[in-house]
Chains A and B, each alone.
Chain A
């Protein structure tokens, strides 16, 4: 019998460690606050996104996703262990993949977490499978509090190239934004997160304008730094420079917290942000506080980011792009150095 959802789910390496399936601690004492789970089926995701570890177009024998292993575990056991070992957890995120059973199973797994744990529930939903508002209303009934939508690519052209026609994939840009609007109506302003991957070939300006667009629609934005998955079509593409990523993080923070607006920001001829459109003192304060450079994701009960994905975007030995904890003063000095680096 194949190990498929809803009886089984895949967990991130960080979740597997926190639930004590895998050995290991997090570098610098980071703590995971949200369990990331993936629905799983044979033969897998029907989509063909060029950068994704789950893509059906990926070479066989490559099984990682966002840099790490995702072991398949019985849902019963994940729930049992979340209750036993998850004292630091406050959220679970259940991700659909593009598979005909995923919508139904998302609700089954969500209900189980709602009824059997104290965790708040996020769902990373697949707009390609959502043809009306009803599935969104059903999710809410099943206990989903927030939803994420992985638009990933910042522009229509990049979306088409890497997720749509360019890879003979099923996803459509307009459908993603339509479902995003519907999700804001169903779940409320600030309860929908748009995932965006920095480094797929967009300029900083294009990314910032898309962040503003999502914000204006009532959504939050959650950033990821592109990481080339071995065996994927984009395995040779370079990652975004740390300075590039930090500038986008800073702009996102200003926009999402209504401290700034893309229209007031200035860009150079390469589309790099040269002026964040806020006073120097206010900008310094935001940089020094450091929160802008932490992983962006759904919040916990304290209002701080819960989906902190420790070392999900880079090896622990590398410069951090997403800080899974509040950066210390030494980190902030490093961040400032990168913010001023326009060499990429």
Chain B
């Protein structure tokens, strides 16, 4: 089981990276064979609330920073952004049918699987965090910003 960083009630398993582009909060978990799974981190699910819909764009490829689709709860809606470029090779249908699985288990509920086109290069992006210290600083700043908005 992966080591996990806890920031308040939020948690961040350290076996994956986190996409810090504004509003993204997507985790990326490399798989064997150059594919990656993507999902929503616990900060995002806390902000979104109980999810009602995940809607994926009708396309087979995505560019780094591009939209994969959107998610929606009773009171919030936003886009899902991809941290890497690649071809969409898998969609987690049970999660799409019942998005509240993501609220229950954000890190066990991947949304799409991509065959990354240049994973090594994309993983070098400063917008992907891996180290516990960096993730902690980032989340603390995000929490400060969210509190200031309240």
Interface residues of A (CB under 8 A from B): 13-14, 17, 22-27, 29-30, 67-69, 88, 310-311, 315-317
Q: Is the interface of B mostly helix, strand, loop or mixed?
A: mixed
- Complex formed: what's the CA distance from A68 to B78 in Å? 19
Q: Kindly list 18 other residue pairs between chains A and B, CB separation below 8 angstroms, not including A25-B75, A316-B74.
A: A13-B49, A13-B75, A23-B47, A24-B50, A24-B73, A24-B75, A25-B47, A25-B49, A26-B76, A27-B76, A27-B77, A30-B75, A67-B74, A69-B74, A311-B75, A315-B72, A315-B77, A316-B72
B146 proximal to A (CB < 8 A) = yes
List of B residues within 8 angstroms of A14 by Cβ: 75
Closest residue on chain A to residue B51 by CB atoms: A24
CA distance A316 to B70 in the complex (A): 12
The distance in angstroms between the C-alpha atoms of A22 and B103, with both chains bound, is 11
Known: A29-B149, A315-B72, A316-B72. A24 touches B47 (CB 8 A): yes
A82 to chain B minimum Cβ distance, whole angstroms, is 15
Query: Which residues of B sit under 8 angstroms from A17, Cβ to Cβ?
Result: 49, 75
Q: Collect the chain A residues with CB atoms within 8 Å of residue B78's CB.
A: 27
Query: For chain A, what secondary structure do more than half of its interface residues adopt (helix, strand, loop), or is it mixed?
Result: loop
**Shortest Cβ distance from residue A315 to the other chain B in the assembled complex, whole angstroms:** 6
B78 to chain A, nearest CB (A): 8
**Interchain nearest-CB distance for B103 vs A (Å):** 7
Complex contact A27–B103 (CB within 8 A) = no
Interface size on B, residues (CB 8 A): 18
Kindly identify, within residues 98 to 150 of chain B, every residue whose CB is under 8 Å from any CB belonging to chain A. Answer: 103, 146, 149-150
| A317-B77 CB under 8 A given contacts A22-B49, A23-B50 | yes
Q: Which residues of A contact B45 (CB under 8 A)?
A: 23
Chain B positions within 8 Å of A, measured between CB atoms, are 45-50, 70, 72-78, 103, 146, 149-150
When A and B form their complex, what is the total count of cross-chain residue pairs whose Cβ atoms lie within 8 Å? 58
Per the bound structure, the CA–CA distance linking A281 and B74 in Å amounts to 38
The answer to whether A23 and B75 have CB atoms under 8 Å apart is: no
User: Whose C-beta in chain B lies nearest to the C-beta of A87?
Assistant: B150
Q: Which of A17, A24, A310 has the most CB of B within 10 A?
A: A24
Distance (whole angstroms) from the CB of A312 to the closest CB of chain B: 9
Which residues of A lie under 8 Å from residue B70 when comparing CB positions?
Answer: 317
**Given that A316-B72, A317-B72 are contacting pairs, would A22 and B50 also be in contact in the complex, using a CB cutoff of 8 Å?**
yes
Among B47, B48, B73, max chain A CB count under 10 A is at: B73
Closest to A30 in B: B75
Residues of A within 8 A of B48 (CB): 23-25
Question: B70, B72, B76, B150 — which one has the most chain A CB atoms within 10 A of its CB?
Answer: B76
Taking CB atoms, residues of chain B closer than 8 Å to A316 are 72-77
Looking at B74, B77, B150, which has the most chain A CB atoms within 10 Å of its CB? B74
A326 to chain B, nearest CB (A): 17
Residues on the A chain within 8 Å of B49, using CB: 13, 17, 22-25
Q: How far is the CB of B53 from chain A (nearest CB, A)?
A: 8
The 3 A-B pairs at the shortest CB distance, nearest first, are namely A24-B49, A316-B77, A317-B77
Give the Cβ gap from A314 to chain B, nearest Cβ, in Å: 11
CB distance from A61 to the nearest CB of B (A): 16
Please measure, in the bound complex, the distance between the C-alpha atom of A22 and the C-alpha atom of B49, giving whole angstroms.
7
Specify which chain A residues have a CB less than 8 angstroms from the CB of B75 in the assembled complex. Answer: 13-14, 17, 24-27, 30, 310-311, 316
> CA A25 – CA B45 in complex, angstroms?
10
Look across to chain B and name the residue whose beta carbon is closest to the beta carbon of A12: B74
Closest B residue by C-beta to A67: B74
Q: Kindly report which residue of chain B lies nearest to residue A315, judged by CB atoms.
A: B72
Q: Report which residue of A13, A25, A315 has the largest number of chain B beta carbons within 10 angstroms of its beta carbon.
A: A25
Alpha-carbon distance A316/B75, docked complex (angstroms): 6
A-B contacts, 9 listed (Cβ < 8 Å): A13-B74, A14-B75, A24-B48, A25-B149, A27-B75, A310-B75, A311-B74, A316-B72, A317-B77
Contacts of B74 in A (CB 8 A): 13, 24, 67-69, 311, 316
Closest chain B residue to A318, Cβ basis: B77
A272-B149 Cα distance, complex, nearest whole Å: 41
Chain B residue nearest to A27 in the complex (CB): B76
List A contacts of B73 (CB < 8 A).
24, 316
